[in-house]
Structure 1
Amino acid sequence: MSIKTLGAKIFAKHIRKKINKWASNPVITQKRVFDNLINSASNTAFGKDHDFASIKNHDDFIKKVPVRDYEQLRPYVDRVVKGENDVLWPGKPIYFAKTSGTTSGVKYIPLTSDSMPTHIRAARNAILCYVEESKRAAFVDGKMIFLQGSPELVEKNGINLGRLSGIVAHYVPKYLQKNRLPSWETNCIDDWETKVDAVVEETVNENMTIISGIPPWVQMYFEKLKKKTDKPIGELFKNFELFIYGGVNFEPYKATFEKLIGRKVASIELYPASEGFFAFQDKQNEKGMLLQLDSGMFYEFIKADEYFEENSKRLTIGEVEVGVNYVMLISSNAGLWSYNIGDTVMFTGTSPYRLVVSGRIKHFISAFGEHVIGKEVEQAIKEATEATGMTIKEFTVAPQINPEDSELPYHEWFVEFQETPQNIDNFAIEIDNSLRKQNTYYDDLIVGNVLRTLKVRSVPKDGFNLYMKSIGKLGGQNKLPRLSNDRKIVDSLGISIGK
């Protein structure tokens, strides 16, 4: 056993004890975070505008601080971007994480000297929890790859600006620097396909033990490796032990990954975002990710089906229930206050608090009142692939409101299969049956002849990659929305694949 392996095991045990301490005291932990946030920001422009000095508890906070999204917080963010001090958080941010919003254009999310370490600790602790649970740590002696955006940064009014994944690349611990791939030069390549080709060349003969990235882009990397070597990934990388992912649900890709790898590999799910590192999978056999209650973020939750109602109730961690779909709000030591990150979450347990990401509050289909959400379509595609043995690369769903030939409207699924499907109709039936079991509103519309059963369209090979490339979002942390309440994506998709 190497010194690094032994050290990882000892450190993992220490970190697990610290996590257990705050996780077993969730309400007290969040109260402490809340008080620290309010006290720290009381003399900022935002704190003065919202009378933080008078806030003693969550009820006071609700009265003083309304729920905001990026556009509503933007007047304050713009002041920070211009270089003003003490606006949302004391001093200035050390970075802006640049993201692309669907309605706001480019968004600049502040990262402060207080918030940045929480991103790094959460990523580290996710791996350490796996080490402590599995008692395996030899993989720390192998090579690790993190498929991410370019680490190159630009300066904006004295503050460095870049993609979150690129910023994080500057914080790789020294003891991992020799193990980390790809090279800095390769990581700086902008064109995603060119970058993946370069990553293949750099890693094909290495002892890869950890591979991390968003599933569709890691899948592209695996496919290129297999094409080059004609070997399963598990044979090529004999010591490959851990796949770390986030951003999208892994389940629709799982069968394809196992086929490409040739064996099962342990995985860790992460829930990072520019606004904060919210949760990670801390147990291999527990459903959901451990919510990070001690990471400088105070959480509020609103039931998703009440979110657009006036005066919808804002709940704290001690008030949430398992199995309910919530919109998650955060207040953080990066200067975000009752900020709607856009995600919906569902708790799988409360001792400790674990959750899954159920979708996006703006990504759903409810053209007829059915309100189908991301969690439901991902579960449906999982059940359909298991029942039929088909494997997929990517999919998205949209309503067909005005079909030809005066037939009933329906949900239209655009699916890129790994191999040409033998019987697409059976696949569609399995999806439809799953959705009807999960969503009673959808089932009622089918039974009532308001909707007909869904249709599946087969997307040609690389059709989704061509679409993402056409809108400048191929690779990195970019994700294809699983479902939409209109046909903007699928109409553009049709153009990009030459329909």
Structure 2
Amino acid sequence: MEMINTFMTWIFRNRIGQIENFMKNPIEVQHELFLDLIHTAKKTRFGKSYHFDEIRSYHQFANQVPVHTYEEMKPYIDRCMTGEQNVIWPTEITWFSKSSGTTGSRSKFIPVSAEALEDCHFKGGKDMLSLYVNNYPETKLFNGKGLTIGGSYQVNHLDGTKNSYYGDVSAVLMQNLPMWVQFARTPSLEVALMSEWEAKIDRMAKETMDENVSSIAGVPTWAIVLLKRIMELKKASNILEVWPNMEVFFHGAVAFGPYRKLFQELIPSTKMHYLETYNASEGFFGIQDQKNSDELLLMLDYGIFYEFIPMEEWDREDPKVIPLEEVELGKNYALLITTNAGLWRYKIGDTVKFTNTSPYRVKISGRTKHFINAFGEEVIVENAEKAIEKACMATESSILNFTAAPVYFEGLEGKGTHEWIIEFQTPPKDRETFITHLDESLRDINSDYDAKRYKDIALIRPKVHFAENGLFEKWLKAKGKLGGQNKVPRLSNNRSYIDELLTLM
């Protein structure tokens, strides 16, 4: 096994040259990629509609091709799902990633081309390992197996050939992984792709608990559930008693900060590493490339051309859109992507802030639809997660999940506030102290919130519900959204989510 580890480490360390190329030449790489996307798709139905054969520059592209929401791309995607080809991308598309992004009822079906699989998602996985082994050259990662926590997929019956499928992006990737990767991962594909989530966790735990697992990849919330089940089965006090060679957790989908303390309890080792990725149904966008950093290197050669909408422009009918070379540090931008799976100037719904432009690094700041701005406070997900993390550190507590929404003015003398539901792994000893730290941290982080809280002028102290364990899982299950890519919305500007949860408390 040591020979395999040495060989695999050497293979992945040598990939770093490709990453360094786009780090040094970001605008050139993006421009070349842009021209290739336009040329490749010029004979598709979409390309003909917008005269791709006439486009020679980004300026022409921005003038000729409108910005698209999912609803505006949906007619093209629906045609693809019924089996029609060469609609938005020239190569055959038989896989679709199903995503709601939130727990809303409307599902999105994102086309996944062969190019998107190979040159984006799989390349992202390889580069993730490349960056990891370059940061930790003494790794023994490849002596063990990687545990992957994913979703499920099913036949797309809209396509009469029955040769078309849709599912969680993790399931789409796992089903299409090359054989050599399948040997290096656990659990078996049969178990990994089970659709019934509660049974799946139990099967995963029983199948993996006697393996030599050295890494985990998945969403923190579901990783916690799995690890706790394994510890229960093995009667272990921590996961290192089960997997002594565990060394890294590759995580994404939600901010890791609020979960860090809990993972340190589950995996009490100073040699344990955590590496964040930014991947979604629409593509693989970023990887944490530096030790002990929460910045993500924007991956620029994955068949994705990036544009950005300043958030102050978001609600305008004709918002200003800028290319990568015009972004500014610290500003909040909505992400716009054009991809090698046929998404054109597509509003993904995420917001990012640039922390560096040489090379380009970002932090995920939230969602365009996930915020609270009922009173001009402009609280985004990034603010909420940082405030929760600080409050947990101050009170030696740790969380499993949370959501928050506004409480609107009632009557002439009424004041607004924010109502939170928080599910803890380790609850604070004093609840009022936790609420105080949460409120004060949010005031420190967000000046607009602080202004509204000044002398309770518009907002009063937040109202916090300390939920019993299992509340959010019960809610997701009731909505048929347990497991997979579904996650609890952190913030909402209306009360639909929080009112549903309150009825279950």
Counterpart for residue 61 of structure 1: 61
Q: CA–CA distance in 2 between the matches of 1:240 and 1:173?
A: 24
Q: Aligned to 1:135, which of 134, 137, 144?
A: 137
Distance (Å, rounded) in 1 between the aligned partners of 2:108 and 2:427: 39
- The match for 1:186 is 191
Of 362, 373, 380, the match for 2:387 = 380
2:14 maps to amino acid: H
TM-score normalised to the size of structure 1? 0.95
Determine if contact 1:278/1:291 at 8 Å carries over to the other structure: yes
Q: Determine if contact 1:155/1:161 at 8 Å carries over to the other structure.
A: no
In 2 relative to 1, CA 58–358 (structure 1 residues): closer, same or farther, beyond 3 Å? same
Corresponding position of 1:89: 89
- The 1:404–1:312 alpha-carbon spacing in structure 2 relative to 1, beyond 3 Å, is closer
> Do the aligned partners of residues 406 and 222 (structure 1) sit closer, same or farther apart at CA in structure 2, a change above 3 Å counting?
farther
Q: Structure 1: state its 5+ residue gaps.
A: none
The corresponding residue for 2:17 is: 17
1:100 CA displacement: 2.6
User: What does 1:429-444 align with in structure 2 at a 5 Å threshold?
Assistant: 429-444=436-451
Q: Distance in 2 between matches of 1:421 and 1:51?
A: 60
Q: Structure 1 pair 91/125, CA: closer, same or farther in 2 (3 Å)?
A: closer
1:197 aligns with 2:202: yes
SS of alignment partner, residue 92 of structure 1: coil
> What is the Cα deviation at residue 46 of structure 1?
0.9
- Report the Cα offset of residue 198 of structure 1: 1.1
Residue 155 (structure 1) shift: 5.4
Determine if the alignment matches structure 1 residue 321 to structure 2 residue 328. yes
Query: The residue matched to 2:38 in structure 1 has which SS?
Result: helix
| TM-score of the superposed pair, with normalisation by structure 2 | 0.94
Aligned to 1:271: 278
The correspondence of residues 367-446 of structure 1 with structure 2, limited to 5 A, is: 367-402=374-409, 407-446=414-453
Q: How many residues in Structure 1 have an aligned counterpart in Structure 2?
A: 497
Q: Which runs of 5+ in 2 are unaligned?
A: none
Paired letter, 2:60:
D
For 2:135 and 2:178, the matched residues in 1 are separated by: 22
Structure 1 residue aligned with 2:108 = 107
CA contact (8 A) 1:387 1:430 kept: yes
Is the 2:236–2:242 Cα contact (8 Å) retained in structure 1? no
Q: Is the 8 A contact 2:97 2:281 kept in 1?
A: yes
- Give matches, 1:320-359, under 5 Å: 320-359=327-366
Q: Which range is displaced more, 377-386 or 12-21?
A: 12-21
Deviates more, 1:257-266 or 1:155-164: 155-164
**Distance in structure 2 (CA, Å) of the matches to 1:388 and 1:403:** 32
| Shift in alpha-carbon separation, 1:331–1:181, aligned structure 2, 3 A | same
The CA distance in 1 between the partners of 2:21 and 2:141, in whole Å, is: 27
Query: 1:482 and 2:490 equivalent?
Result: yes
In the alignment, the residues of structure 1 paired with residue 28 and residue 400 of structure 2 have an alpha-carbon distance, to the nearest angstrom, of: 44
The one-letter amino acid of 1:262's match is P
Partner of 1:218: 223
Identical pairs, percent? 38
Q: Which has the higher mean CA deviation after the structures are superposed, 37-46 or 337-346?
A: 37-46
- Taking the aligned partners of 1:122 and 1:136, their CA distance within structure 2 comes to 22
Residue 201 of structure 2 aligns to a residue whose secondary structure is: helix
Q: Counterparts of 1:89 and 1:172 in 2: how far apart (Å)?
A: 22
Distance, in Å, in 2 between the alignment partners of 1:405 and 1:227 is 54
Read off the aligned partner of 1:182 and give its amino acid letter. Answer: P
For residues 236-272 of structure 1, the C-alpha deviation after alignment (integer angstroms, 9 at most, x for no partner) is 2110001011100011111111112222420111111
> How has the CA–CA distance of structure 1 residues 284 and 16 changed in structure 2, closer, same or farther, with 3 Å as cutoff?
same
CA RMSD of aligned residues (A): 1.9
Name the CA shift for 1:286/1:421 in 2 (closer, same or farther; >3 Å).
closer
CA shift in 2, pair 1:324/1:341, >3 Å: same
1:209 partner SS = strand
Tell me which amino acid in the other structure corresponds to 1:63: N
